[in-house]
Structure 1
Amino acid sequence: MMAYLKINKFSSTVFITIFTILLFSFSPLSNPLERIIAGFKRYITELPQEKVYLHLDRPNYSAGETIWFKVYLTAGSYHEPSLFSNTIYVELINSSGEVIQQDQLFSREGFAAGQLELDESLPSGNYLVRSYTNWMRNADEAYFFHKQIKIWNTQDPINNALSDETIALQFFPEGGNLINGIMSKVGFKAIGMDGLGKVVSGKVYEGEKEVATFESNQFGMGVFALMPKEGKKYTATIENSQEIVTLPKALDSGIILSVTNSPTTADLLVKVQASENSTLQTVYLLAQTRGIVCASSQADLSKKVSFTRIPKKEFPSGIAQITVLDEAGNPLAERLVFIDHQDQMTITASMDKSVYKPRERVQIDIEAKDKEGNPVAANMSLSVVDGSQVALSENKETIQSNLLLSSELKGHIESPGYYFNPSNQDRAKDLDILMLTQGWRRFTIKEALSEKVTDPEYGVEKGLTIRGVLTDEKKNQPIESGTVSYLSLFPFPESKTAVTNSKGEFEIQDLIFFDSTKIILQGKTSNGRIATILTESSYSSPQLFYQLYSDFTQPSALDQNFLTNAAVRLAIDKAFDFDNSEFALEGVEVRAKRIDQPSNISSTYGAGTVQMQVAGKPALENLLNPIDLLRGRVAGVQITGYGESAKILIQGVNSINSSMEPMLMVDDIQVRLESLLTIPVQEIEGYRVWKGADTAIFGARGSNGVIGFYTRKDLGTDKKTIQQDAALTMKGYQVEKEFYSPKYPADISSLPKPDQRATLFWAPNIQTDSSGKASVSFYNSDAEHLINGEIEGISGGGKPGSTKFNYTIEK
C-alpha cells in the first residue's frame, strides 16, 4: 500500500513511502500537532537558545601559567554568531566545586578572547572551565559550557591511580519502555568511578535462563535485542563480576518506537508498534531538530504496527528528536537520531615545507570553504603546541562536536570528536548507540504545548550592571522615586540615570567599561537633595551541577615531560621578553628603607610584621575570599587549597615542623577559618601578619604566627557606601592580553636563552577575507620534536569547522 504525506518544513512537500498497514492523514482541528508546532515556533522566536564554546590553547597547564582561550557565542537553531548577549562569564572551578576565578568578557558580535592567569600556589588536580551568559541561566546549568582540564604543581604530591573498579551498568530501552511480547532494542552503558566508559561483556537472564549476550564498544556502550514476556524478571551480569543488575520492568500495554538510521540510505526507517491489548487507535508522529519541526503526521494503529520512511534531507545536521504522542499531546515514546549531512565548513592549513629549524619563521596559509567548495568568510582561532609536551587528541571536543552533539545531550560525552573523525570507521554505528544511551536536554513537548512562553527570569545583558539602594542615612530608610546618576569617561564618555523603586533599589544597565575603571555615582531624592548610595559588590555565581571528578592520577610519560619543562618555561617567561628588550639580572642586591603607606587599620596588637591595605585596590577587592588576599603576596606565607579546605602555614620553626596553622583574627578577635570565609573581601579594610619575634605579644597563641583581618567601618553587609559625587573603582570587562611570541632575528647566536614553550603560538582572532583566506606567521622554539596545530572556527552562517596539522622541527 502506498500513500502520500505532506511534511511540515517551511511549506515544502515531500513524498513518504508507507509500509504494511498504515494510514496517515492530517486533521488540524482534532490533533495536537498544530499546537505543538506553534509552541516550538514560539520558543525559537521568543526564547532563542544561546550556546557558548571555548577553544583553549591546550588541555594541560602548570600552576603559574596562563590559559589562553577564544569564546564563540551562538544563538538560535542555526548556530549563527549571537547578536543578543554582550557579556560572557568565564570561570575556573576547583575539584571541590568552588569558583576560584571569574572574569567577564565583552562579546563583539558573538566572539571574544581572553585569558585565565593561574596562581603559582594552585594544587595539582582536575579543574573545570565553565562559561555562560546571563540569558543562558534561564535554562538548565547543563546548557553551560564545561571543559575539564588538568593543572599540575610540581611542589604537590600526586595521588595514585584509582583502585576501585566498581562499574555502574545502565540499560535504556529504545523509545523509553520495554513492552511485553514486543521485540525491542536495548542500549546499555557501563561507567567506572572516574566517569568514563568501561569495556564490558555480559549476559542477560530470564530468571535462570540465558536469553541474550552483550558486548560494549570502547566507550562502554552497546545494544542488544530482547523480547520480554509477561510475569518474567530480567537481570544482567558482567563478565568477571558477581553483581546482578535488574533491567527496567516491561509494561503489559503500550507502544514501542524503533528507528533505523543507516549511513548508506537517504531515509530514516520509523517503526511504531502497539501491544495486542492496547486501545490506542490513533497516534501522532513529530520530528524536530533544535526546535525546527521537520516532519509531523497522524497514524492509524488499529492494525497495531506501522512503518514509514522520512527523508533525511528534511533535517538540518545535528540531533533529531522523534516523538510519538497520543491525542492529548502526551509523549508515549521518544528516540534521538543523529543526521550528518557533512555540510560543515572545511578548513585547510598549508605550509611551504614539513620540516623547519629551531627558531625559524613559520607561515601558515588558511583557507575556509563550504560543502560545495565555495570560499567562506569565517572567524577562527589557532593553537600550535610542542608535541613532546602536549597531546592534541584526535578525538577531543571541537566546536563542531560541541554545537551539534555535546550541547544537546545530558551527561558527559567521552571523546566527542570521535564521532566526527572520518578515520573512525565505526563512528556512525557508535553514534547511533550514543543516541540510545544519552538523555535529551532541550526543551520538551510539554513546554511546547503550554499556551504561552514563561517570562524569563534572567535578561539579555548588553553591558555591565550596577545595582544598589538609595538611602536616607539620617533616617536609615530607603528613598523611593530618587535618582542615581552614573558617569564614566573611559573608554568613552557615558552617562545614565536610574529611578529607584519603592524599596529604594536601582539598576543601571548596559554599561561598557574595562579593567578597573573609575566611575562617578550621584544619588538624589525626588526634591533634589543629595542621598547615600549603597552599591552591591557581590555576584552570585550559578550553582554547579556538573560532576567534576576530584581523583587525580599519576602523570603519563608525556605529562612527566611537560612537568620537567614547567619550571624552565616559567623561568623563561619571567626572565626576558625579546620584544621589550628586558633581561633578567642575577645577583643584584637592593638596599632601601621601607616606607609604609598610611593605614586606616587600628589594632590592639600593634603594626605587625607585614601590613597590607585592601580597600581602594580593585585588584584585591575583587578577589573571592579573604584567604586569597595573602596567596602569593606575603613572603613566608604558604597557602594550599581553597575555601574551607585551605591550609595556611607561616614559615618558622613551629609552623613548619609541627604543621600547625597560624591564629586567625577578625578585628582583633580570634576566629576559625570557616567564620573568616563568610566575610566578603569588599568589607575588608586591610590585614596584618605577625611572625617571628613580633608574635611575642600573643604569647603561646601566636607560636605559629598570626594573621589579622580588619573590616571597613563605613560598610554594611555586601554594599559599598557612596556619598556626594563619589569616585568608585569597579571591575569591568577583562582586557584581552597579547600572547607573547618572540620574534627572532636572522642571527640568533646572540640569543642564548633557551626557548621551551609548550604553546608556540596562539592566535584567537583570525578572520578570512572574501576569498576565504588568511595567513599567520610565528617563530619556532628550540624544540626538536613534532609540532601539532589546531584551527577552529565558525562561518557567518553558523557552520562550524576544525582541522589539525603538524610539522617537525630539526636542526
Structure 2
Amino acid sequence: MNIKNTLFLSIFFLFSNLSFSQAELNQNKEKISNAFTEFFKMDRENIHLHTNKTTYLSTDEIWFKGYILEKKSRKPYVATSNVYITLIDGTGEKIKTHLFYAENSVFDGSIKLDENTQTGTYYLQVYTNYMNNFMEDESSIYEINIINPTDGKMPANTNSKNFSVVNTEFFPESTVFLEGTSNTVGIKITDCNGNGISIKDGEIKDAQGITVTNFTTNELGYGKFDILQTKNEVYKAVFLIETKSIEKALPLPTANGITFSVNNYTFENKTTLKVKTNANSLNEYKNSPLTLVIQQNDNTSFVDFSFKENAPEQLLVIPGTDFSEGINTLYLIDKNAKKIAERIIFKPSKTNAAIDLKILKKQNDSIFISGKSALAMGSISVSVLPNDSKSLSDQKNIYTSFLFDNQLNDKAPKGNYFLSNFSKRKHYELDTYLICQKSKYSWQAMMSAPPQKKFDFDNGLTFKGTINKPLEDKKSFKVQLSSIAAGLNEFSEINDKNEFYFKNILVSDSATVHFSLLDKKERKSEIKLFAQILNNNRPFIKPFKVAKTECPTEINNSTDDTNYSFPKIANTVRLDSITIAGKVKKTPLANERRHNNSMSKGYKITEADSSRDLLQFIAANGYDVSIQGTSVIIIGRRATSFLGTRSPAIYIDDAPVMDFSQLLGYSLNSVDEIYINKNGYGGGMDAANGIIRVYSKKGTGGARKIKINSQSFTVKNGFQNNKNYINPKYTSYSDEGFKNFGNIHWEPYVESDENGLFTFAIPNYYQKTVKIVIEGIGTNGDLISEIKTIAVP
C-alpha cells in the first residue's frame, strides 16, 4: 500500500471515529432530554402557606393563605382545588386533617386549636392527593409553636445556641474528594438544635498536624476551604467553641475520578467551571467525550469537552443563557451517560423593589394603609402584629418555598437570609450553602423511573350511591342531588349495578344534601339508598419525619416571667339582637321550642296577613326574591358562604324545600307561624345564609302540598367553610401579654392594581409601632415577601 493510500485511510478512520463519537454524544443528549421530559411530564403542584404568625396560644385559631404554583412553569396553578392541611404534633402524630377549596391558585382558611393542646412544637403539612404520584415528597411543611397558658410550660428555645453537642459535616464540591489535585470542600457546623455556629479561626490540618489552610463559617454555620494537591491521608478540621477545642476528620480522598469547581457569582451572565482529574484517572478519561448537563426540571442544556494529553484540568466558560433562573443542577457524565459528579448552583432572578407602606388616614377605630409593590394585579396576604411580638420567628417565606424547598433535598434556612439585599457577597454565601446541598431529584430516578399516575387529581368531591330497590327500566330513572344552601341541583344516570355517581361537587363540611329518584316525567318517588363520598379523606402516603434534636430536653416550667405574660380575653357572650318593647301582650308562639326556633324571629300569621303569599312575606323580611317564569330565586343580602349560593334553607313543617318554584302562589292563609333566622345560628353549615321555617295551620295540609320524597345525607370531611377573620376580645391592648402574643389583624385577600398599588385597613389598637408581614404573588409568578415596621402617628 502506498503512502497516499495510507494517509487517505488514516484520515478516513479519524473522521469516522469522530463522527461515531459525535453520534453517540447526540444520542446520549436526546436520551437525557427525553428522560427529563418524561419525568416532569406530569404537572407538579408547589404550595406555600402564609400563616398569620408562627407561635400560637392553645386558645388561638391558626389563620393562613395558600399560594399554588406549578413547578415547571413557575406560574400560578389554577387547576388545583382540593388541598389538605394536617396538624402534626412533635412526635409525628397526626392530630387533625382538614380539606380546603382552592380557586384561581389560592385558598385561605383557619384551623381552630383545642384549648387543651399541650405546649410544644407542631407542624402543618400541606398536600394534595395528586402529590402521592411522585417518589419525591412534594408536600410543604411548616413548623409552629403552640403554648398552653394553663400548663405552666414554654417551648424550649431552640434558637439559642446549645453547645452540648456540636455537629461538623463536610461536603466536597461536586461530591467528589479526589487525591492528587486541588479540592474545594464545604463545611457545616451546627449545635444540637441545628442552629449554625459562626467560626472565625478554623484550621484544616494534615496527618502530620500541619495547617494547610484556614476557614470561617457564617451565622448559618456554612463555610468552605480549598486543599491544594490533596494527599491520600486523613485531614481534620480544628476550631474552638468558646474555650473548647473541637476536631473532626474529613473523609479519605478517593483515588480515581473527576471533580469540578463552579463560580457564577464573580462575573455577570457568565459561569466558569474548572474540571479536574488526577494522574491516575487521566489515562482513563483523556480524549474521551464528557458532557456537563445543566438541568432544572425538564429544561436542559449541554456542554461537551474532553481532557487532552498531559492536561488534567479543563476550564469551561458557560454563558448565563444556558441556565434557568433559580436552582440549577449540574451533572458531569461520561460517554455512557453515567454520572461522575454533580453540583447545585443558583442563577439570580430580578430583584423586586422593597414594598413601600404609608398610613393614609385614621377613621373611627380603623387605620387605612396604602402600599406600593412590584406585583401588578397581584394577590397579597397581610398579617399585622404588635411590634415586639414573640409570636413571629424566622418563618419560611414564599421565596424559600418556591425557590429552594421545592428543588432541594433538605429544607432551606428559614426567613430571607440569602435573598434580602442580594449582592455578590450574598450570592457567594448562597453558593457556599449550595455546595452542601443535593437536588430533590436523583439522576438515576430521572433517567429510569418516570412517575406513573396512580392517584387522582381531585377536583371537588365524588359521591357514589347504590339504590336499594329493583328498577325495571333503569334508563327511565335518574337521581337528583340537591341542596339549596350549597346551590346544588345535579342529576346522574343509574348504571346496571343500581349505582350512581356525582363528581366535582363543591359542598361544605357538615352540610346536608338530598337525593331524590325521578322518573321520565320528573316525578319523585320514594327512594332508599346507601351513599358515600369517595375522595374526602385522602392521606399523604409518605411518612412524616420529625427532625430529631440531640439536645437535652428543655422546657421552661415557669410562666411567671413578665416576658411570657399572656393576653387576657374577655368572657363575652355574643347576642344576635336585643329588642326593647313596651308591655304589649303577644300571642304565644307554638313552635318556638322546635329546631332552635328560639334563636329566630318568630311571626304569628293573622287574618290581616291572609291576603299575602309566602314569597311576599319573605321579600319583606330581609331577602331578595325574583321570579323568572316558573323559577324562583331567593337570596340573602349578605354573602356568608364561599361555596354555593346565598339562598337560605327553607322548611315547611320541618320538611326541606328543595325547589323554590313550589312556593309560587303559596298563600299565607294556610300558614300559622314563620320563623326567620338570618344568621343561621344552630343550623350548621347548611344555614350559612339563614333559615326560614314555615308551620301550617292545623287541617290545611300545607306540609303535604310540598312533600318531597328524598333521602338526606350529611357530608363528613367536606370542604372547610371560610370565615371572616375575627380578633379575640382582648381586655387590654397595652399590657405585656398583648404585646407578646396578641393579634392585630389578618387580611388574606388584598389585591394590587396594574401599578402594584394596594390598600388595606387594620383596627386601631393604639400601638405606637406595628409589625406588618406581607406576602404575595403576581399573575406572572413574581413573588414578594417582606416584614415591615411602621410607626402609627
Question: For residues 362 and 425 of structure 1, what CA distance do their matches in structure 2 show?
Answer: 39
Q: Could you say which residue in structure 1 is the equivalent of 2:400?
A: 401
2:282 corresponds to 1:286:
no
Match of 2:326 in 1: 318
Pair 1:139-2:146 in alignment? no
Residue pair 2:47, 2:126 contacting (<8 A) in 1 also: yes
Q: Separation in 2 of the partners of 1:338 and 1:516?
A: 47
Tell me which residue corresponds to 2:268.
265
How far residue 360 of structure 1 moved from its aligned partner, in angstroms, is 5.0
Opposite residue 37 of structure 1, the aligned amino acid is S
CA drift at 1:213? 3.4
Alignment of 1:613-632 (within 5 A): none
Q: How far is the alpha carbon of 1:540 from its aligned partner?
A: 3.2
Q: Is the 8 A contact 1:287 1:320 kept in 2?
A: yes
How far apart are residue 532 of structure 1 and its match?
A: 5.0
Amino acid in the other structure paired with 1:299: F
Does residue 298 in structure 1 map to residue 304 in structure 2?
A: yes
Deviation by residue 1:543-573 (Cα, 9 ceiling, x = unmatched): 443424588756799996674233x1xx23x
Distance 1:262 1:69 in 2: 36
- Report the equivalent of 1:13: none
Q: Decide whether aligned partners of structure 1 residues 459 and 220 sit closer, same or farther in structure 2, where only a CA change above 3 A counts.
A: same
After superposition, where does 1:232-381 map in structure 2 within 5 Å? 232-239=233-240, 244-278=247-281, 279-280=284-285, 281-293=288-300, 295-302=301-308, 303-344=311-352, 347-352=355-360, 361-369=366-374, 376-381=376-381
TM-fit CA distance, 1:70: 0.6
Displacement after TM superposition at 1:122 (Å): 0.9
Aligned partner of residue 444 in structure 2, secondary structure: helix
Contact 1:345–1:801, Cα closer than 8 Å, also in 2: no
Matches within 5 A, 1:206-221: 206-210=206-210, 211-221=212-222
Query: SS of the counterpart of 1:175?
Result: helix
Q: What's the CA shift for 1:596? A: 15
| Partner residue in 2 for 1:775 | 759
Tell me the CA shift for residue 797 of structure 1.
Answer: 0.7
Report the counterpart of residue 673 of structure 1 in structure 2.
none
C-alpha separation in 1, matches of 2:560 and 2:174: 43
Partner of 1:194: 193
Q: Return the offset for 1:253.
A: 1.1
Aligned to 2:650: none
State the partner residue of 2:102.
Answer: 107
User: How far did 1:118 drift?
Assistant: 1.2
TM-score, normalised by the number of residues in structure 1: 0.67
Residue 801 of structure 1 pairs with residue 784 of structure 2: yes
Question: Cα distance, 1:72 vs. partner?
Answer: 0.2
Query: Do the aligned partners of 2:468 and 2:528 also contact (CA within 8 Å) in 1?
Result: no
Query: Identity over the aligned pairs, expressed in percent?
Result: 20
Greater Cα shift, 56-65 or 194-203: 194-203
CA deviation digits over 1:322-374, x for unaligned, max 9?
A: 11111121211111111113244764323248xx89x853211123336xxxx
Q: Distance in 1 between matches of 2:557 and 2:772?
A: 21
Asked if the contact 2:39/2:446 (under 8 Å) is kept, the reply is yes
Matches of 1:31 and 1:308 in 2, distance apart?
Answer: 23
3-state SS of 1:310 partner: strand
Paired residue type of 2:296 = T
- Indicate if the aligned counterparts of 1:55 and 1:69 stay in contact, CA closer than 8 A: yes
Aligned length: 615
- What are the superposed Cα offsets for residues 116-135 of structure 1, whole Å, 9 maximum, x if unpaired? 11111111111111111112
CA gap of 1:764–1:193, structure 2 versus 1, over 3 A, is same
Give distance in 2, aligned partners of 1:129 and 1:122: 15
AA matched with 1:766: V
Q: Is the 8 A contact 2:559 2:565 kept in 1?
A: no
Residues 54, 322 of structure 1: alpha-carbon distance in 2 compared, 3 angstrom cutoff: same
Task: Judge which range, 155-164 or 105-114, deviates more.
Answer: 155-164
Counterpart CA distance in 2 for 1:556 and 1:218 is 29
Distance 1:308 1:141, change over 3 A: closer
Structure 1 contact 287–322 (Cα < 8 Å) conserved? yes
| Preserved contact between residue 396 and residue 418 of structure 1 (Cα < 8 Å) | no
Counterpart of 1:34?
A: 30
CA contact (8 A) 1:579 1:742 kept: no
Aligned residue identity for 1:463: G
1:270-311 Cα distance to aligned partner (Å, 9 max, x none):
111222222122111111234322x31211223432112222
SS at match of 1:404: helix
CA distance in 1, matches of 2:560, 2:506: 41
Residue 217 and residue 731 in structure 1: after superposition, are their counterparts in 2 closer, same or farther (change >3 A)?
Answer: same
In structure 2, relative to structure 1, the CA distance for the partners of 1:501 and 1:416 (3 Å cut) is farther
User: Which position in structure 2 is the counterpart of 1:674?
Assistant: none
Alignment of 1:99-178 (within 5 A): 99-140=94-135, 142-158=137-153, 165-178=164-177
**Whole-angstrom distance in 2 between the partners of 1:103 and 1:400:** 25
Residues 497 and 248 of structure 1: CA distance in aligned 2, closer, same or farther (over 3 Å)? farther
5 Å matches for 1:687-702? none
Q: What residue in structure 1 maps to residue 459 of structure 2?
A: 462
Give CA-to-partner distance per residue, 1:473-518, whole Å, 9 cap, x none. Answer: 99xxxxxx9x99672424222436598999x999754221113112
Tell me the distance in 2 between the aligned counterparts of 1:530 and 1:807: 62
Give the residue type in structure 1 aligned to 2:366: R
Question: How big is each residue's C-alpha offset from its partner over 1:179-223, in whole Å with a ceiling of 9 and x where there is no partner?
Answer: 110111100112322122233464434323233333321111111
Give the CA RMSD over aligned residues. Answer: 4.3
After TM superposition, the structure 1 = structure 2 runs for residues 731-770 of structure 1, keeping only pairs within 5 Å, are: 731-740=717-726, 758-770=742-754
Q: Provide closer, same or farther for how the CA distance between residues 89 and 505 of structure 1 changes in structure 2, counting only shifts above 3 A.
A: farther
Other-structure match for 1:786: 769
**Higher Rg of the two aligned structures:** 2
For 1:39 and 1:135, locate their aligned partners in 2 and report how far apart those are by CA, in whole Å.
21
Partner residue, 1:540: 539
For 1:269, what is the secondary structure of its paired residue? strand
Equivalent pair of 1:142/1:410 in contact (CA under 8 Å):
no
The one-letter amino acid of 2:367's match is V
Matched residue SS, 1:250: coil
Which amino acid is the alignment partner of residue 68 of structure 1? W
Deviation at 1:146, TM superposition (A): 1.2
- Cα distance in 1 for partners of 2:447, 2:23 equals 17
* Superposed CA offset, 1:383-404 (max 9, x none): 11111334656x6432123211
Give me the whole-angstrom Cα distance separating, in 1, the residues matched to 2:724 and 2:144.
22
Provide the residue aligned with 1:410 in structure 2: 409
Equivalent residue in structure 2 for 1:516, among 507, 510, 525: 510
- SS state of the match for residue 408, structure 1? coil
The Cα of 1:533 is off from its aligned counterpart by 5.5
| Counterpart check, 1:184 vs 2:183 | yes
Query: Does the residue aligned with 1:420 lie in a helix, a strand or coil?
Result: coil
Query: What residue identity is the alignment partner of 2:513?
Result: I
Residue type matched to 2:217 in 1? S
Contact 2:198 2:218 in 1 (8 A): yes
In structure 1, what residue type is equivalent to 2:372?
E
Q: 1:727 is matched with which residue: 678, 689, 713? A: 713
Shift of 1:737: 0.9
Q: In the alignment, which residue of structure 2 is the partner of 1:656?
A: none
What letter is aligned with 2:207?
Answer: G
* 1:401/1:420 contact within 8 Å kept: no
Could you list the per-position Cα deviations for residues 562-607 of structure 1 after superposition, in whole angstroms to 9, with x for gaps in the alignment?
A: 74233x1xx23x527799899xxxxxxxxxxxx999xxxxxxxxxx
Q: 1:234 to 1:549 in 2, by over 3 A?
A: closer
Q: Mark the CA change 1:423 to 1:580 in structure 2 (over 3 Å): closer, same or farther.
A: farther
Residue 108 of structure 1, CA deviation: 0.5
How many angstroms apart in 2 are the aligned matches of 1:418 and 1:559?
A: 34
